[in-house]
Amino acid sequence: METIENNFRARDYEVDIRFPEFTCLCPMTSQPDFAEIIITYVPDALLVELKSLKLYLNAYREKGIFHEEAVNRILDDFVTTVHPKKVTVTGTFNVRGGLYTTVRADYSA
């Protein structure tokens, strides 16, 4: 993930990013899991550069990872790189075995 300067840091505003093509692998079965990842954040000095975010999220395609771990890892990496005032990462995972899973993790500076 890369960042760019926030030229409007004097005011608080919210950025919503939706990535409806998130995929990862179930660590138990190695079958693909599909989800929409939504990142909502209030930037401070930096903004996330969108192409680099897309490449970062696409890197999960070959990772065996549980839904809860994926969302929390994305949150941790986003906070470490972008240093937002606050951020919420939501993963809405498609049905598997009759169950839908939504995982939400928050950070506030």
> What integer is the mean pLDDT of 32-37?
96
Q: What is the pLDDT of residues 41-98, one digit of tens each?
A: 999 999 999 999 999 999 999 999 999 999 999 999 999 999 999 999 999 999 887 8
16, 33, 77, 106: the catalytic one is: 33
Residue 5 CB coordination number (10 Å): 10
> What integer is the mean pLDDT of 6-24?
97
Closest CA to 65 of 49, 81, 50, 76: 76
For tokens 């005032």, what's the residue? Answer: 85
Q: How large is the C-alpha radius of gyration of the chain?
A: 14
12, 16, 26, 44: the catalytic one is: 26
- Residue 106 appears among annotated catalytic residues: no
- Residue 33 appears among annotated catalytic residues: yes
pTM for this prediction: 0.95
